[in-house]
Amino acid sequence: MVRVSLPTICVVPDVEGKYKKMRVLRVLGIGIAVAGFLCSILCILLSVAADINSIPFMSIPMVFIFVGMILFMLFNYKAMQYARVKTVVNTVKSRDKVLLMDIFSFESNALELAQAMIDTGNLSDYELVAGVLLAKKELHISEREAIAMHDERMRTSRALAPIMGIPPVTEGEEKTKLKQNFCTQCGAEVKDTDKFCPSCGTKLDK
Average pLDDT over residues 100-116: 85
- pLDDT digits 0-9 by tens, 196-205: 777 777 777 6
145-152, Cβ contacts within 8 angstroms, sequence gap of 24 or more: 146/187, 147/184, 147/187, 149/97, 149/99, 150/99, 150/101, 150/178
Q: Is residue 204 part of a domain?
A: no
Query: What does the alpha-carbon distance between residue 10 and residue 3 come to, in Å, rounded to a whole number?
Result: 16
Greater pLDDT, 84 or 105: 84
Cα separations in angstroms, 125 against 4, 35, 67, 149, 161? 21, 45, 41, 20, 33
The last residue of a domain, from among 72, 94, 116: 94
Verify that 102 and 162 share a domain, yes or no: yes
Verify that 67 and 25 share a domain, yes or no: yes
Q: What is the pLDDT of residue 192?
A: 72
Q: Is residue 155 part of a domain?
A: yes
Verify that 52 and 117 share a domain, yes or no: no
Query: What does the alpha-carbon distance between residue 65 and residue 40 come to, in Å, rounded to a whole number?
Result: 9
Give the CB-side neighbour count of residue 50, counting CA atoms within 13 A.
Answer: 9
Verify that 80 and 126 share a domain, yes or no: no
Verify that 121 and 160 share a domain, yes or no: yes
The last residue of a domain, from among 73, 94, 115: 94
Query: What does the alpha-carbon distance between residue 102 and residue 70 come to, in Å, rounded to a whole number?
Result: 35
Q: Is residue 190 part of a domain?
A: no
Verify that 14 and 58 share a domain, yes or no: yes
| Beta carbons within 10 angstroms of residue 33's beta carbon | 19
Q: Is residue 154 part of a domain?
A: yes
pLDDT higher than threshold 50 for residue 138: yes
The last residue of a domain, from among 60, 94, 128: 94
Q: In angstroms, how far is the first alpha carbon of the chain from the final one?
A: 31
Q: What is the pLDDT of residue 67?
A: 93
How many domains is the chain partitioned into structurally? 2
Dihedral sign for Cα atoms in the order 143, 204, 103, 12: positive
Please give the model's pTM, rounded to 2 decimal places: 0.65
Q: What is the largest CA-CA distance in the chain?
A: 87
Q: Is residue 188 part of a domain?
A: no
Dihedral sign for Cα atoms in the order 192, 194, 195, 201: negative
Verify that 109 and 171 share a domain, yes or no: yes
Dihedral sign for Cα atoms in the order 166, 97, 116, 111: negative
Q: Is residue 105 part of a domain?
A: yes
| Beta carbons within 10 angstroms of residue 133's beta carbon | 25
Verify that 104 and 135 share a domain, yes or no: yes
Verify that 70 and 104 share a domain, yes or no: no
- Could you tell me the residue range of the domain that residue 42 belongs to? 1-94
β-bridge pairing 97-99 and 126-129: unpaired
| Beta carbons within 10 angstroms of residue 14's beta carbon | 13
- pLDDT digits 0-9 by tens, 142-196: 888 999 888 888 777 665 555 545 455 554 444 444 444 666 666 666 777 777 7
Verify that 106 and 45 share a domain, yes or no: no
- pLDDT digits 0-9 by tens, 7-65: 888 888 988 899 999 999 999 999 999 999 998 888 888 877 777 766 666 788 888 99
